Amino acid sequence: MTARILSGKPIAEAIKFEISADISQFRREHGSAPCLAVVRVGEDPASAVYVGNKVKTAEEIGMISEHHHLADTTSHDAMLALVESLNRRDDVDGILVQLPLPDQIDGREILEAIDPAKDVDGFHPINVGRLSQGEKALVPCTPAGVIEILKRSEIEIAGRNAVIVGRSNIVGKPMAMLLLQENATVTICHSRTRDLADVTRRADILVAAIGRPGFVRGEHIGEGATVIDVGINNVSDPDLARELFGVDEIEKRLAAIDKRGFTLVGDVNPKDAMERAGAFTPVPGGVGLLTVAMLMKNTVEAARSRRKI
């Protein structure tokens, strides 16, 4: 068996096309486009790339974007003041604070200070609570993207056994809530789960979000399961890369390690997944592409909800 590759690119492009049309309609109804404000603190290279992608995508689809880049010496009070000023601005529909933040800033307090109606990351306790109760809410972007991949790939969710490896507030827990809303039977696994492979092999849909490169291997995957790899890890060890990739892929991965010092790898061993799964999301090129698209969708939904459109 060779797994069907669930590429995120065409799905993300389709969603962005739909959002672009929504923005055009919003502009006709309201006179201006929705506005996303992104706040980044410091010079973390990965954060700079992520924020750059978000701002670029927003501009491509006709959304207004603001990038507030603060020095890494910014105080907690100054950061809080910026968030509160963005909350007060009627022309700002979505606020995203890029993590991680420097040690002197209490990230939890900052995220909780964001107006829940503008919380396009879906991390505010009010949105988390609404999601857990099955109410309308702004939903974390990565889990929302996973649901889009499953639905648009015509993979049945209702009645299926879904297993999530990882219980983070960003992916694992909201992923469970969304799958429950789609009528899946959901199990969450974590570091204390006994006989992990025995549990994960029963999954019709297996979501890996544990933050360990190549952790989910053949023994964890039931024959024909749909495997969703949410992980993004940098691997610099050529020997580990050889364990994870087959002959068709390994030379490209080794070349990437030689050129930039690492290659991107998910939480699933892709070589094993290709042999056992029925469908599989690659890294890169899978779920990650949906995260930014769903952020744009959340911003439009926030704008329409705030204006009762």
- 109 and 81 Cβ atoms separated by less than 8 Å: no
CB atoms near residue 145 (< 10 Å):
29
- 130 and 161 Cβ atoms separated by less than 8 Å: no
Residues 6+ apart with CB under 8 A from 59: 65
Residues 6+ apart with CB under 8 A from 189: 163, 164, 165, 166, 196, 199, 200
Q: Rounded to an integer, what is the distance from CA 98 to the centroid of its chain?
A: 13
CA separation for the pair 88, 202 (Å, rounded) = 49
Amino acid letter, residue 233: N
What does R_g of the chain's alpha carbons equal in angstroms? 20
What is the set of active-site residues?
54, 98, 121
